[in-house]
Amino acid sequence: MKKWSASAYAFFHPIPAIEYRHRRKCHVFSCAAKGCKQSIARYLDTTDKESTGNMRKHIRSCWGSDVLEMADNIENLENARKIVKAHRNNGTITSMFQRLKGKGAITYSHCAHTKSETRAEIVRWVSESLRLFNIMKDRGFNCLMKTGWPMYYLPHPTTVSRDVKTVFAKTRQRIAKLLQEYDGELNFATDAWTSPNHQAFVAFTVHFIHDGQPVRMLLDFVEVAKVISTYCLIGCL
């Protein structure tokens, strides 16, 4: 352990567990980040048993490349651990989430959002959850977001509105280009129904295969101004 002086060790608990996996002895390093249950196994019967490559790969995804770069510039491992501890405990390291493919679980990074990332996440949030743009001025929302980090950036409602319109326009152009250049069959479908308040709606969708996976997209959703029933058609005839 005295030879372990690389900065990557600062992001893991100092004393690794010794385990046998598939009858092979290995050191198991547990990430020191709060809430992270990831561990890195390093087998002792390989020529690269001192390698920190997998550890650094996890650090970049969990802590961020900027924090790892700061630790790399510190020659003393103990001082690097102090930097890691400071980043772990202060308010500048917040969470941004991503969904793990195939598992449905949500994991959180220890890297703070940039202003651009914050605006992008808010556009996605208000669009998916049908939130009002004025929620940016909501007292409770601001309390949750700024407690512990008073300078945390939150865009103005007009900025959110403008961003949503921009994303919608860009997305529409991208989908149009994708469908126009698609080399295969496109299957279009419609679905109509009446809401409980007797308003009729029609949805237009497209279905196709992309990168080996089935894809379905909602192209448009419109209210039907006038509904003509079968009985009305018979009367007209």
pLDDT in tens, 119-161: 999 999 999 999 999 999 999 999 999 998 888 899 999 999 9
Task: Place 188 in a pLDDT band, splitting at 50, 70 and 90.
Answer: very high
Give strand pairing partners of 220.
204
Of 8-22, 61-75, 80-94, 142-156, where does the model show the most confidence? 142-156
Tokens 């020659």 belong to 75
Task: Place 91 in a pLDDT band, splitting at 50, 70 and 90.
Answer: very low
Residue 223's closest CA among 187, 199, 190, 206?
199
pLDDT higher than threshold 60 for residue 96:
no
pTM given for the model = 0.53
DSSP 186-216: -EEEEEEEE-TTS-EEEEEEEEEEETTEEEE
Query: pLDDT at position 153, please?
Result: 92
**Please, are residues 78 and 32 in contact by the beta-carbon 8 Å criterion?**
no
DSSP 8-state assignment for residue 137:
G
Query: pLDDT at position 36, please?
Result: 81
